[in-house]
Amino acid sequence: MSDFLFTNARLIDPDAGTDSLGWLHVSDGRIVATGEGTPEPSDAETVDCGGKCLAPGIIDIGVKVCEPGERHKESYKSAGRAAAAGGVTTMVTRPDTTPAIDTPESLEFVTRRAQADTPVNVLPMAALTKGREGREMTEIGFLQDAGAVAFTDCDHVISDTKVFTRALTYARSCGALVMAHPQEPILSKGAAATSGKFAALYGLPAVSPMAERMGLDRDIALLEMTGAKYHADQITTARALPALERAKRNGLDITAGTSVHHLTLNELDVADYRTFFKVKPPLRSEDDRLAVIEAVRTGLIDIISSMHTPQDEESKRLPFEEAAAGAVALETFLPAALRLVHAEYLDLPTLFRAMSLNPAKRLGLDAGRLSVGAPADLIVFDPDVPFVLDRATLLSKSQNTPFDGQRMQGRVLATFVGGHEVFRRT
């Protein structure tokens, strides 16, 4: 097994909240020692980080891999390569495939594909209701036994509260985590933008930020009834934050995430109907963006995800209202998130708390930290190196990124999974 001694490293430890120069020793896939200054001589292979950052690998909750059904958009092989290049050492995959991953057999199929084709860890989620149709819950217990780490219908909101209540109650009995998309489904249906002057000027069908607040309020009420474990996949508006804060203060088992796109872009980026900027929920106002960043800084929002959603050219090269929502983000996740550091909204330990430590905690993993005994899922990155993104160079099969042609800072130099190098930038 691997035996590495990382030296001259800028250690980013989200658990301790520190950013300091030091060293880290990895053996048999685990971290066995770490410290500041110069390490004692060792027979381990030395990796001189040259003063660059060494951090826990990113744990990305909500990655869409389009197997089965739409392999031309993204396969486990292409997604795995993109994840390794982007510093994502664990992908937590969504079940919104064609067909949905709603049976133990379909879950076992994607698990086998992931193990065979990807160099990074893959943890699958399963659908909460059959076909993600919101009518009949799936066999949660059997799916858990088959390896599902959470249950979600993704952006298909379960509008039947009785069905959702039953699913939450059953999930609680199994100790299962439910991930939901907080939106009021009728108000948000068909929306391509957020209500306001911009959407009105461009004639786009829009949804009020209150739809997110209403959806979250409903889910919180059902959590009070059932006591289930719940994660809101994307909180993107200031209106939803007071309800989230109250739910946490009242002791509910609730966490919340947001996407890197909603932290780094706003509704004005759509500009001349640029469909690569069409995501779900739609991009919000600048005030909302700043409020969500502050919520990440304080820990009210726990997790940042890429919400990697591949779409092919035929799905995006359409009028804005008709174009498919979503953007690829595995490779752009870290450089986009580093915009928050360069703008001095967040420091690096806080950023990796949201991208590595908190996702690990929510899923019950011992990863996401630089402590002794933790798995050696690590990334070496330069937070300052500038580059212009060319989407043609992305390793994802689909290249629908909103950052095409943009100046960015920060690149992954090497990625290690279980102490094995799975990517090195040449």
Summarised one tens digit per residue, pLDDT across range 361-418 is 999 999 999 999 999 999 999 999 999 999 999 999 999 999 999 999 999 999 999 9
Tokens of 196: 């306001």
- Render 193-226 in DSSP notation, one character per residue: EESSHHHHHHT--EE-THHHHHHHHHHHHHHHHH
299 — pLDDT class (breaks 50, 70, 90): very high
Tokens of 336: 């986009």
pLDDT of residue 37: 82
Calculate the alpha carbon distances from 137 to 170, 215, 229, 330 in Å: 9, 20, 16, 30
CB atoms within 10 A of CB 224: 12
pLDDT at 156 over 70: yes
pLDDT of residue 69: 93
What backbone torsions phi and psi does residue 199 show, to the nearest 5 degrees?
A: -65, -40
pLDDT of residue 222: 98
pLDDT digits (tens, 9 = 90+) for 114-138: 999 999 999 999 999 999 999 999 9
Please state, in angstroms and rounded to a whole number, the distance separating the CA atoms of residues 311 and 397. Answer: 9
pLDDT at 252 over 80: yes
Lowest model confidence (mean pLDDT) among 52-56, 100-104, 145-149, 267-271 = 267-271
Please state, in angstroms and rounded to a whole number, the distance separating the CA atoms of residues 200 and 271. Answer: 13
Residue 11: strand pairing partners: 20, 54
Nearest to 190 by CA among 213, 206, 214: 206
pLDDT of residue 51: 96
Under DSSP, is residue 154 helix (H, G, I), strand (E, B) or coil?
Answer: coil
Residue 193: strand pairing partners: 206
Nearest to 273 by CA among 321, 314, 309: 321
Nearest to 144 by CA among 296, 364, 398, 323: 364
Residue with tokens 């520190």: 18
CB atoms within 10 A of CB 30: 17
Q: Are strands 53-56 and 3-13 parallel, antiparallel or unpaired?
A: parallel
pLDDT at 1 over 90: no
pLDDT of residue 39: 84
pLDDT of residue 426: 86
pLDDT of residue 5: 95
- Render 280-331 in DSSP notation, one character per residue: SSPP--HHHHHHHHHHHHHTSS-EEE--B----HHHHSS-TTTSPP-B--TT
Residue 7 parent element (H or E):
strand 3-13
DSSP class of 173 = H
Is the pTM for the entire model greater than 0.85?
yes
pLDDT of residue 41: 77
DSSP class of 40 = P
Please state, in angstroms and rounded to a whole number, the distance separating the CA atoms of residues 279 and 273. Answer: 12
- Rounded to the nearest integer, the mean pLDDT of the chain is 96
- Half-sphere exposure (Cβ direction) of 342: Cα atoms closer than 13 Å: 16
Tokens of 88: 């994502």
| CB 312 within 8 Å of CB 398 | yes
Under DSSP, is residue 267 helix (H, G, I), strand (E, B) or coil?
Answer: helix
pLDDT at 242 over 70: yes
Who contacts 251 (Cβ-Cβ below 8 Å, separation ≥6)?
none
Question: What would the mean pLDDT of 199-206 be, rounded to a whole number?
Answer: 94
Sign of the four-CA dihedral 55, 407, 313, 127: positive
Question: What would the mean pLDDT of 204-222 be, rounded to a whole number?
Answer: 97
pLDDT of residue 151: 98
pLDDT of residue 68: 93
Sign of the four-CA dihedral 339, 341, 346, 348: positive
